[in-house]
Amino acid sequence: MSLLIRGGTVVNADGRARADVYCANGKIVAVGENLETPSGAEVINAGGQYVMPGGIDPHTHMQLPFMGTVASEDFYTGTAAGFAGGTTMIIDFVIPNPQQPLMEAYRDWRGWAEKSAGDYSFHVAVTWWDESVAADMKTLVEEEGVNSFKHFMAYKNAIMATDETIYHSFKQALALGAIVTVHAENGELVYQLQREILAQGITGPEGHPLSRPPKVEGEAAHRVIKFAEVIGVPVYLVHVSTEDALGHIMRARAEGSRVFGEVLAGHLLIDDSVYRNPDWEAAAAHVMSPPFRPKENQEALWRGLQSGALQTTATDHCCFCYEQKAAGKDDFTQIPNGTGGVEDRLAVLWTHGVNTGRLTPEEFVAVTSTNAAKIFNIHPRKGAIIAGADADIVVWDPAATKTISKKTHHQNVDFNIFEGMNVTGLASHTVSQGKLVYANGELRAERGAGRYIKRPAFHPMFDALGKRAAATVNTPVVR
């Protein structure tokens, strides 16, 4: 099975050039001008289009069991929807219940993900602590190719990690050469504010952002960065949504700390007015955490992305249909938290990032693919159009337009947070493992074709005697 993408402009994070791309056996074999067409090769005409690394969404939750229900999008439908928008890999999350062995949860998620159409990997959440958790983290790093562990500072009485858990987990991640990732919201403050707001008689979705004001995120971001600095472990903050949290990241980076930040396409473009929509269903459909924010945060987040203080974009794709959201009809704290977007991230970022001049095409590639591959240590296998890389490619038509709608999207959810948005710049073809999986509106996703992608550890920062071995430190490098 071989494929030649002819006549396009290849864009990598570090430059662009007119070149053909030849793929065989799942890999990119050659990138160069006027490549010959090997006999039997399928040919894609990419004239006038960009040829870029397929998107990597480093933050999704397919079929997540959460808040009494299960996310409606499964690993097959979700990765297939990603193909339709040019995303070829996801990094999802294993989230053990408190006291559940990490390895048991990991095996559950591996089983659920077998139906994936696209490649996938897993961050593993540390939701509780004892020595068995430390041992499972070691097994996950050394045998299962997990190099990132997630910590929820929110969701009290559920999956929230205590400071004690965070301390031990960060130490163990450092020793194993893994990176830590964090959902930064102060869970105690959220819990207390939720009680206060309900007591005031506010039960609708408008209570959601009131219970999670920006400072709740800023406090947690600041605290966890200090935690990571004390321990000396690189830290990645997921879904940074406020100027406050961004400021803490920027200051830490300016002081030399290895702190990374992710921003969601939704937080860049949607503000908190959605919670004041008198249509309960529409307001509830936007309930996610952290919530959509007052508008001024959006410009700050764009600047964070442009300046490199935020390195990645994601979606936190976690879909719940209306009937699931209805669990919180009389109490906003019971509305399952989550929104979608895996299909739309690239088009939305191209439209509002590249077409507005905020991002160059190269920077677009960096923030949609390459930087995630680097931070999570799968570059250049992923995130690059070079010989030897996996043939995960999007052919991007910068002139193509559409209006985003739940009526036409491929995502398995009855709402789209970008509903009605006109976008210019769309995937015309998506290639996964060298196979054409999306072509001009036709989805050819194959159930079960996706592979689990192991991500090697960074060099452990401690030598065999437990001493810090600075010379061998190898943490993510993103420039």
Name the residue nearer to ligand URP (CB basis): 21 or 237. Answer: 237
Kindly tell me the burial class for residue 39, based on how many C-beta atoms sit within 10 Å of its own C-beta (0-12, 13-18, 19 or more): exposed
As a whole number of angstroms, the distance between CA 245 and CA 87 comes to 27
Of the candidate residues 168, 183, 222, 286, the single one contacting ligand URP (CB under 6 A): 183
Residue 61 CB, nearest distance to ligand URP (Å)?
5
- The option from Zn ion, ligand URP, none interacting with 288 (CB < 5 to 8 A, set by class) reads ligand URP
> Which tokens is 48 given?
């006038």
- The option from Zn ion, ligand URP, none interacting with 314 (CB < 5 to 8 A, set by class) reads none
Lay out the site mask for ligand URP across 304-343 (x = CB under 6 A, - = otherwise).
Answer: ------------x-x------------------xx-----
Q: How many residues bind ligand URP (CB under 6 A)?
A: 8
- Comparing every residue's Cβ against Zn ion, the nearest one is 183
Residue 84's SS3 state is: helix
- The option from ligand URP, Zn ion, none interacting with 338 (CB < 5 to 8 A, set by class) reads ligand URP
Strand runs (DSSP E) across 69-205, as ranges?
69-70, 87-94, 119-125, 148-152, 179-183
As a whole number of angstroms, the distance between CA 26 and CA 332 comes to 46
Name the residue nearer to Zn ion (CB basis): 244 or 316. Answer: 316
Name the residue nearer to ligand URP (CB basis): 128 or 320. Answer: 320
Name the residue nearer to Zn ion (CB basis): 183 or 325. Answer: 183
Name the residue nearer to ligand URP (CB basis): 9 or 63. Answer: 63
Residue 340 CB, nearest distance to ligand URP (Å)?
11
Residue 326: Cβ within 10 Å count: 16
Strand runs (DSSP E) across 392-440, as ranges?
393-403, 422-432, 435-439
Residue 303 CB, nearest distance to ligand URP (Å)?
23
Peptide bond between residue 290 and the one before it cis (omega within 30 degrees of 0): yes
Strand runs (DSSP E) across 75-159, as ranges?
87-94, 119-125, 148-152
Residue 157 CB, nearest distance to ligand URP (Å)?
15
Which region, judged by CB under 5 A, interacts with Zn ion, from 183-191, 257-265, 274-282, 350-358?
183-191
In eight-state DSSP terms, residue 468 is B
Q: Is 183 in the site for Zn ion (CB under 5 A)?
A: yes
Q: Which residues contact 474 (CB under 8 A, 6 or more apart)?
A: 177, 458, 459
Of the candidate residues 119, 262, 316, 390, the single one contacting Zn ion (CB under 5 A): 316
For every residue of 191-218, DSSP letters joined together read HHHHHHHHHTT--STTHHHHTS-HHHHH
Residue 57's SS3 state is: strand
Name the residue nearer to ligand URP (CB basis): 93 or 170. Answer: 93
Residues that bind Zn ion (CB under 5 A): 183, 316
The residues that touch ligand URP, with contacts defined as CB under 6 A, are 61, 183, 288-289, 316, 318, 337-338
